[in-house]
Structures are given as C-alpha cells and as structure tokens.
Structure 1
Amino acid sequence: MIEITEQLATQHPNGKNVYVFTLKNGSGTEATVTNYGAIIMSIKVRKSDGTFNDIVLGFDTPAEYWSGEYLKNYPYYGAAIGRYANRINHAAITIDEKNYPLNSTNPGYQLHGGVEGFDKKVWDKMSATDGHVVLQYKSPDGEEGYPGNLTVQIIFSLNEDNEFSYEYRATTDQPTAVNITHHSYFNLNNGKGRIDQQHLRIHASHYLEQDANYCTTGNVLPVKGTRNDFSNWNETGNIENPEQGIDISYPLDNPGIHQVAAEAWCDEEAVKLEVYTTEPLVHLYNSYGSPEIKGKNGQQYTAFSAFCFETQVHPNAINIPSFPNTILHPGEVYQTKTTYRLTEKD
C-alpha cells in the first residue's frame, strides 16, 4: 500500500497555493514532489540502519525554488522542462510551413522551453490517491512563442518494487512542438560532495554532435574512442579534460520502457539507480556549470555535485528532419514514461 501525504506548504507570489506531496512505500522509500514546477524535491532510499539516502539535489521548502539567489544562476533542480527540452537553435521553429519565433533564453537559441517554462509554473492539483499524484498545467497559445493551447498532465507514482515513475500526457488544439523532460540532479552519496567517482553507464554507442552553442547539428557520431563514451561503466572524473564537463545527448541503442537506458552507482552507498524510459534518448549533464548554493540538509552544492539523466526526444529535432518527430497535432495524445528503479548494490 502506497501512502500519500499532502501538505499546503505556502503561497506562490502569484497567489496560487503550493503543495508538497510525499509518496511512501512499505519498505520506507519516499519521494516528495511539489506542484510548483512539478519539481521532484527528494527521493529517499531507506537504508538497513534506518537512515535515508536522499539521491537528488534540491531544497527543503518550495519557496527556495523561486528565491532570488537561486534564480540568479538557475540550474532547474528537479523540475518539469517544457514545452521543449534542451536547446532549439536560432530560437525558432517551423510547423506546416509557418515560422514561429520563440523567446530566446540565450543568444542564438532557446533553452528548456523559454524564459518562463513549465519549471516556473504552479501546476493545478488534480488528484493524490491510489499511489499516484496527478498535476496539470494549461499552457496558452503563444506562450514562449509556441502555437496552440497545450494541456499537460504529469503523473508521479511509486510502487513496492522501489520504482518511482513520472508520466507526461499532453493534448493540443493546434499543431505544436512538444518534447518534455524532467531535470533531476542525482548524487547517490546522499547529495554529498562531487560525483567525479560515481559510476555511470548509458546504453548508447553513439552521441549527437553539437555546435559551439551546444545545439545539435544532425550528425550522429560513435562514442568509441571519445571522451563521451559511457557505453560501459565509466566515471566522469576519469574522462579526458574532466573540468570541461559533459552536456551530451545519447540516442539509445535499444529504446523501450523494458530496457535499461542508463544506470549509476557509487562506492560510498549501496544504492544503484536504473533508468527505464519510452523516450529514444538520454541527455547526460554532469553539472559542471552549476552554481555554489546551499541546498537541503545543509549541503553545499557546487559544480560537479550531481549528474542528470534527462530522457527526451533528440534536442533540436523540430529543426532537423532526420531526427524523430516532435510535432503534436489536434486529436493526438503525447505520452511518455520514465522510471527510476532503486536497488541495493552488491
């Protein structure tokens, strides 16, 4: 039986109520989410001594996620990313031969859905029962430059097998571009220290080439012999020029919800993370550009404090015909699912 608790935490400056929901299973594993930004605030694995290993970065309270200090160098901790994840080159899209300029977040491109994407919205609380928390956001026509009224739901769930999942569902009244992800920052050592020696693997033999702005070009390159090779177990601290960081997209060799897409473990804690997804790609970011800021449990976060496994369709796919389709039409349902499976490392 999955226990769900709901708490009215605070009020957003826009006047909307902000809630915190905690899902807990019989073994004591907990996941906490909030309707501000549909943020995953914590994923706590109960250890044999009764203490917890919280494997994602974040803050103790929702209000800290919209504080001025945090927004100055904003890393999107644990947030829903939409309408369109990652970078869209030239901050423009074309649908049915019509061009739509988008709000630029950086010179030459739009990042993570625009200046005020799904990550900064107060989502509507729909339900919190039967092991599921359902949130909804209605993105109006023209928001951040995108056409169509888009209705998006996210469904968070936890089961007794220590599988925490999120599902996205979306519909539109006009053709529009949709590519939604989630931006959890993982540190399997209870959020402490750097992740240079945490062990990562992505089941991909290729990566997507990027230009100087980290926008994908359309070229798909082999990982073998490059610093981007995580097709076997590797550590981000062991790659060539590790301080340059990693911000790379990996199309999966065998995509599908029943295949392991990415996995990780660390020496200090016994937990292992496995990622399963319906999406065709995992984007790896090792937080090399993250700011110094104090997070939950008094932890001081810095660059290289976490890694992100962002499941999505190929970045900039809307502008690259050889990449998978990311246009949603009226009458269609956009639907994706990603699962984080937590097990004890031998």
Structure 2
Amino acid sequence: MADPSDPSFNPILLTLPSFTPSLALEVLPAGLTLHRLFVQADGKTHDILIGPEDPTGHITQKYTNTIIGRYANRLPVGSFAIERNGVHSVVAPKPNEAPTVSLHGGPKGFDAYPWEPLPDPSTAELFTPAEIATIQTRLPTSIIFRRISEDGEEGYPGRLLIEALVGLAQPEGGPGQTADGKKEWNLGSVLLVYRAKLLDENKVTPINLTQADHTIELNSEGLSTGTLLPVTGTHHAHAEKASGRIGERFPERGYDEFYVFSPRSVPPPPSIMPASELKPELDLVGAALSRDGPAAEEVASLAGGKSGLRVGFATNQPGVQFYSNNLSVPEKGARKKIHGGSGAVGDGYPPGTAAFLEFHAPLAAWIHPQTRGPTGEDTLLASGEVYNNFVRMDVWYRDGVGASA
C-alpha cells in the first residue's frame, strides 16, 4: 500500500441518517478498504469486521476487507491466450503466494493503491442516470470510488476503468420471523457494486472482483483442478449440520473452499453485458436493493450465537469462497480493541476466529468451462462490454438470543 502518512488512510464515515443509526461504516480510500462496520443492537455497539485497530495496519495485514486485484482467488502462473467475441489477448498472472500461484491479481493488487472518491456521483461513467437517482434517494450515505488499472499491470491486458459504489440503505419493513419462531429486525443494508470497462479497443482481460450446492476440487496449492464435487454428506454441507454452526465437523486445516450456488428461482443480472445495454433508464442498483426482485434471494448467511446478529447476503455472482482465517499468524497481526485485542501488532486474531465470504465467479473460469456454474460466465471482459458485480449485506437482529444461546 501507499505511505502510511497518505491521506487515503483517513476513514470516510458513512452513517444512516437517523437519530440512532443502527449502522455506520468506515471506508478507507487506501485499497478501498472496509475498516469498521458498527452495528447498534440491544443497547450494545458491535464491529462485525475483523482487522487492525490502526488503518495503516492494512499495509501488512493483507486482504482484510480490502478489494483485491483484477482476479479474485488463485490462478496458475504462466502465459495464457484468451479470446472473447473474436478479440484475442494474452494474460500472464504473476506469482506471489507461490512460484506457481498468483493470488488476488498478483504481487501488487488493487488493494495496494489509493482509490479516488468521486464527490459528485453524477460524474461516474459506469452508472446510469437512473442509477444515480436511486443512489441519491435510496443510498443517501454512499460514495463511488474510481481507479484506472493500466495495460499490462500485473500481467493483465487492457487499460481498465473500475468504479465501485459503497453505500448504506435504511431498514425496510417490519420484523420478520426466523425458522425457530424468533422475531428478527432489519437494521439496514450495505451495498457494494463493482463496475469495470476496458478503455482500449480490441482487448480482452480476465476480471473477477470481490472484497477479499457444489464445491470446486482444489489441488495442494489451492488451484482449481476443474472438477465440481457434490457437498451432500460432507463437512461442506453446512445446512445439514444439526447445530447450524461452522465449527461442527470443522476440518483440521479449516476452510478455504469455493462453493458454486445452485440455480436460483429467478436468474440475477449478469456479470458481463454489452456496454450498449447500459442505457440511461437502466437501474441495476435499484434491482440490487430490491428484496422482491431478481436480487432478492439470499444465497448465504452468517449468524452469531450470542450477539443475536445475522448478516444475509444477496449477489449476482455464481458462487462464494469461504475462508476461516486459517493462515492467520497472531504474532504478525493486530486485533481490534472492541474484539478483546490490544490493537498492537503481535496480538492478532488466531486461526479459525473469523469467517471471510468472497462473492465472485469460480476460480480460473475461462480455463475450466465445466466449473462455471449455472450462468456459464467465463470471467472474460472484452472491449465494448461492462462488468457488473453486486453484493448486498442485510444486517438483522434476532430477538431472544443471548449469552446462554
């Protein structure tokens, strides 16, 4: 990342416009980092994001709620000819995790750069007038960040414009009811929308952005073998666990797996679309916020057994990587004071104490067509197309859940 004295490490605070905000989000332009997500519930304040106390700690505490590089997860190192819509390029992922493995876009990913916040959302190039209107009315506390990734950066072809929307939405509706009969209140939502477009003609590039009922088989280096495996009856079948807890049947090495979602009842908006479809009246931001449209279906959920908090996730992505913080080295990291740490380096989070969900397309999808899932998307973006990826996180509070739960 940049120099710690860089002003991009100064948090931008987003809060819901009410007298008692239930959500508040701190965003760092450095690495487009979600530094803190405060939730007020039952008279308590929680921060449901792990990470260092000091924003500059993200320089060394890599991929803790930061954006990644052009391609999420692991790709094999090498030189690959790629083609889409008759356009040809060559991509050469660079090693960082291992001599044969390129992780999250290479040695210097998007997390290592400051992102430009746009004071006026109407200056965004990849959001339509209808979407800007929705942002101003339904996401009054939001911001769009921009970055240009140059042609050849980390071995990826094409000059790429990326714009990312980060915003908070007000709670909607009255209390719902959980399967065990408890009441549940929505406290608001966090919406992330990633858009990208190649600025060069006749280029194609892999793209798979994220914020760090089948699973993909991985080799010993965490690379896709190109085989889909059923999860039924395995430790991956989280819905089958009697307790509902991740720790039940917890594998010795923890989780670092990619799960492909089953086909949804209503197909969500695609990740890749012709730029000509981004018409002024198109409003995919509104669709992402709607709970009764194509984006309504909750594809994953994380709940605390003691706090009463639950986060439900909706997305247009075909799968999710679940990582249980296996490689954390407490002696090299820092833990926030609100999580019982000192905030100092050397007092970090032990392995297995956090859950990371990274919503994106399958690993190396253009190499392994058989793993692409229901959408069949190859994660290649050609000139004249727009990349569109959204994740909506709905925060809920469940009644009657306490320390004895």
TM-score, normalising length from structure 1? 0.83
- The percent of aligned pairs where both chains have the same amino acid is 26
- Cα contact 1:103–1:110 (8 A) shared by 2: yes
Structure 2 alignment gaps of length 5 or more = 121-135, 172-187, 269-294, 342-347, 400-405
CA distances 1:82-133 after superposition (whole Å, capped 9, x unpaired): 2000011234432136543221111212110100101111111213773211
State the 1:276 CA deviation.
Answer: 0.7
- Cα contact 1:285–1:307 (8 A) shared by 2: yes
- Cα contact 2:304–2:310 (8 A) shared by 1: yes
Structure whose alpha-carbon radius of gyration is higher: 2
Match of 1:120 among 101, 112, 117: 112
- Cα contact 2:69–2:108 (8 A) shared by 1: no
Match of 1:265 among 297, 303, 307: 303
Aligned length: 307
Which residue is 2:182 aligned to?
Answer: none
2:81 is the counterpart of 1:41? no
Match of 1:287 among 304, 325, 345: 325
Which residue is 1:276 aligned to?
Answer: 314
- Cα contact 2:149–2:160 (8 A) shared by 1: yes
- Cα contact 2:365–2:379 (8 A) shared by 1: yes
Which residue is 1:202 aligned to?
Answer: none
Q: Which moved more, 1:17-26 or 1:231-240?
A: 231-240
* Higher share in strand: 1
1:52 aligns to what SS in structure 2?
Answer: strand
Q: Whole-Å Cα distance in 2 between the matches of residues 239 and 331 of structure 1?
A: 47
When residues 12 and 89 of structure 1 are mapped into structure 2, their CA distance, relative to the original with a 3 A threshold, is closer
Amino acid at match of 1:94: A
When residues 92 and 271 of structure 1 are mapped into structure 2, their CA distance, relative to the original with a 3 A threshold, is farther
Q: Whole-Å Cα distance in 1 between the matches of residues 304 and 3 of structure 2?
A: 39
- Cα contact 1:243–1:288 (8 A) shared by 2: no
State the 1:36 CA deviation.
Answer: 0.5
Which residue is 2:53 aligned to?
Answer: 60
RMSD value, Cα: 2.0
2:298 aligns to what SS in structure 1?
Answer: strand
CA distances 1:139-183 after superposition (whole Å, capped 9, x unpaired): 000000000001111100101121101100001122111000112
Q: Whole-Å Cα distance in 2 between the matches of residues 269 and 148 of structure 1?
A: 46
Which residue is 1:326 aligned to?
Answer: 379
CA distances 1:179-234 after superposition (whole Å, capped 9, x unpaired): 00112xxxxxxxxxxxxxxxxxxxxx211111111111221111012121123453
2:362 aligns to what SS in structure 1?
Answer: coil
Amino acid at match of 2:233: G
When residues 265 and 217 of structure 1 are mapped into structure 2, their CA distance, relative to the original with a 3 A threshold, is same
CA distances 1:12-53 after superposition (whole Å, capped 9, x unpaired): 42985314111111233111111001000011110222x311
Structure 1 alignment gaps of length 5 or more = 1-10, 184-204
Which residue is 2:151 aligned to?
Answer: 141
2:179 is the counterpart of 1:152? no
Match of 2:92 among 90, 101, 108: 101
2:366 aligns to what SS in structure 1?
Answer: helix
Match of 2:336 among 281, 296, 302: 296
Amino acid at match of 1:84: Y
Q: Whole-Å Cα distance in 2 between the matches of residues 327 and 79 of structure 1?
A: 22
- Cα contact 2:359–2:391 (8 A) shared by 1: yes
State the 1:135 CA deviation.
Answer: 0.8
Which residue is 1:13 aligned to?
Answer: 3
State the 1:62 CA deviation.
Answer: 2.3
Q: Whole-Å Cα distance in 2 between the matches of residues 112 and 142 of structure 1?
A: 16
- Cα contact 1:75–1:290 (8 A) shared by 2: no
When residues 14 and 286 of structure 1 are mapped into structure 2, their CA distance, relative to the original with a 3 A threshold, is closer
Match of 2:23 among 3, 24, 29: 29
Q: Which runs of 4+ in 1 moved over 6 A?
A: none
